[in-house]
A and B are shown apart, each in its own frame.
Chain A
Amino acid sequence: GAVVSQHPSWVICKSGTSVKIECRSLDFQATTMFWYRQFPKKSLMLMATSNEGSKATYEQGVEKDKFLINHASLTLSTLTVTSAHPEDSSFYICSARVSGRVYEQFFGPGTRLTVL
């Protein structure tokens, strides 16, 4: 149980285009989802916290207009990288918190974004 999926697993796009990444909780409802960014050989950086039905809470320094997060249902959150540039290339990972299990997060497999 507690499986989180991400789609796509990798994507290559041209500079200036937008890319949408989906994060789904497959067998549970996730009231809260988190989006992380991981640079090569670096730790995970929390980008934003997404709560179902409300606006995401972004961490300091993360551009809200560039990284659009939507948590439309209890099983789906999306991250859209708008007008992507090469510096946005990274590994993006989502996680979901299971309702009632406050202290655990379950992570998706990640999405590798490469912007040319």
Chain B
Amino acid sequence: AQSVAQPEDQVNVAEGNPLTVKCTYSVSGNPYLFWYVQYPNRGLQFLLKYITGDNLVKGSYGFEAEFNKSQTSFHLKKPSALVSDSALYFCAVRDIGGTDKLIFGTGTRLQVFP
């Protein structure tokens, strides 16, 4: 079965420092991977996706993610964190059943301190 794992419940980083939010996946075949961000009491906002092509994917708000097939990882990164980046981040993988269902990780809360 398709799945993604986010091993960290929370990540704390100082403003201006680089941040990484980890995600590993388990899929059969080629994975379609996504990152979404959720602000309090709001729906999810799309950040970026990997379908095929370059392993480094650039997305919204200065975020990027690196697809690593050998490590089955798709970590989210940003060179310089902002306090406004504090939110809940979800990694997701598209289900292979052909229904476009997304399977979400458990989420990682990012806290950026001034």
Binding site for B on A (CB under 8 A): 4, 6, 32, 34, 41-44, 46, 49, 57, 91, 93, 95, 97, 102-110, 112
Contacts and interface: CB of A to CB of B under 8 A. Distances in A.
A107 B36 contact: yes
B49 A104 contact: yes
Contacts, number: 53
Contacts of A43: 90, 104-107
Interface of B: 32, 36, 41-46, 49, 51, 90, 94, 99-107
A110 B102 contact: no
A49 B101 contact: yes
Q: Which 6 A-B pairs have the closest CB atoms?
A: A107-B43, A107-B44, A109-B43, A43-B106, A43-B104, A110-B43
A32 B45 CA distance: 18
Given A103-B32, A109-B43, 6 more contacts: A32-B100, A43-B106, A57-B99, A102-B100, A107-B45, A110-B41
27 contacts: A4-B43, A32-B100, A41-B107, A42-B106, A43-B90, A43-B104, A43-B105, A43-B106, A43-B107, A44-B104, A46-B101, A93-B44, A95-B43, A95-B44, A103-B49, A103-B94, A104-B46, A105-B100, A107-B36, A107-B44, A107-B45, A107-B46, A109-B41, A109-B42, A109-B43, A110-B41, A110-B42
A106 B104 CA distance: 15
Nearest to A45: B104
A58 to B, nearest CB: 12
Contacts of A32: 100
Contacts of B36: 107
Nearest to A42: B106
B100 to A, nearest CB: 6
A12 to B, nearest CB: 15
A112 to B, nearest CB: 7
Contacts of A4: 43
B89 to A, nearest CB: 11
A103 B51 contact: yes
